[in-house]
Amino acid sequence: MPQRPIILSTTDHSRESAGMTYVYPVVSRRAGGVSIGINLNPNNACNWHCIYCQVPNLTRGGPPPIDLGLLARELDAMLEDLITGDFLERRVPTGQRRLVDIAFSGNGEPTSAREFPDAVMVARDAISRYRLSDSVKLRLITNGSLIDRRAVRHGLENLARARGEVWFKVDAADARSLARINGTRAEVAAIRRRLEECSAICSTWVQTCLFELDGHSLSPVELNALVSFLAAQRGVIRGVRLYGLARPSAQIDAPRLSPAPEAWLYQVASRLRDQGLTVEVSP
């Protein structure tokens, strides 16, 4: 019996839905349509360990070598099906049947792949071959931790040349929260420096995940630190995207997490707007 096609939804971002190694389609709540994801970490390895991470069997580390030829072929096949095939009709709910971006967003930190700068070129070439430069954005979703590497900055330059943009993760701006939320010992000063460096190379948004842990959101002191950090980036970053928990964490602490009240998210947004920042909210 033929299998019914799986309809994509905003709550299922399975990397396996297309049966490919690096490329997967999702309906993205944050991007507002279909997003083609590029997963440069098929081994589920990341240098951070965020408490809300949706990656199953997440391990610490980096990816194996990337087969750029395979990536190019997969991207081509996916775009062919989306642009000239019936993919949108078969797999995407009405109202969201438009391709909005191609995003480096996988099961780990994309910039940890040695081939990241070349992978950006592969995506950029695919976008121009399908004449999508005016309608489809090339994005990098990153924790920003590897921007000190020359090769990563080179990848950002390639992204900027493709008129792409970066979504840079900043969930907290104090050491204890960074350890608790992101499983990193990154220093706040280093995050600030990397964010500024990233913004100087390529158009950059901060993305911040807000949620409750054991029934508590960020404490007032932690929230003040985050707001001050972001306020100081006015004029540097494009803006801030606040989002809640859309999909369940796949980490051991998942039962301790719950969505933050929507009203609180909007209050945080309002505080940031009062600081002169552009803010978008996806509860």
For ligand SF4, the binding residues (CB under 6 A) are 46, 48-50, 53, 55, 58, 108-109, 143
**Residue 263 beta carbon to ligand SF4: minimum distance, rounded to whole angstroms:** 25
- Identity of the residue, 127 or 165, whose beta carbon is nearer to ligand SF4 in the bound complex: 165
- Identity of the residue, 126 or 226, whose beta carbon is nearer to ligand SF4 in the bound complex: 226
Dihedral sign computed on CA atoms, order 238, 239, 245, 250: positive
**Residue 26 beta carbon to ligand SF4: minimum distance, rounded to whole angstroms:** 15
**Residue 175 beta carbon to ligand SF4: minimum distance, rounded to whole angstroms:** 17
**Residue 110 beta carbon to ligand SF4: minimum distance, rounded to whole angstroms:** 9
**Residue 53 beta carbon to ligand SF4: minimum distance, rounded to whole angstroms:** 3
- Identity of the residue, 96 or 112, whose beta carbon is nearer to ligand SF4 in the bound complex: 112
- Identity of the residue, 17 or 275, whose beta carbon is nearer to ligand SF4 in the bound complex: 17
Q: What pairs with residue 209 in β-bridges?
A: 243
- Identity of the residue, 130 or 168, whose beta carbon is nearer to ligand SF4 in the bound complex: 168
Residues 6+ apart with CB under 8 A from 41: 62, 63, 106, 107, 108, 109, 110, 112, 113
Contact predicate 116/154, CB 8 Å: no
**Residue 54 beta carbon to ligand SF4: minimum distance, rounded to whole angstroms:** 7
- Identity of the residue, 53 or 78, whose beta carbon is nearer to ligand SF4 in the bound complex: 53
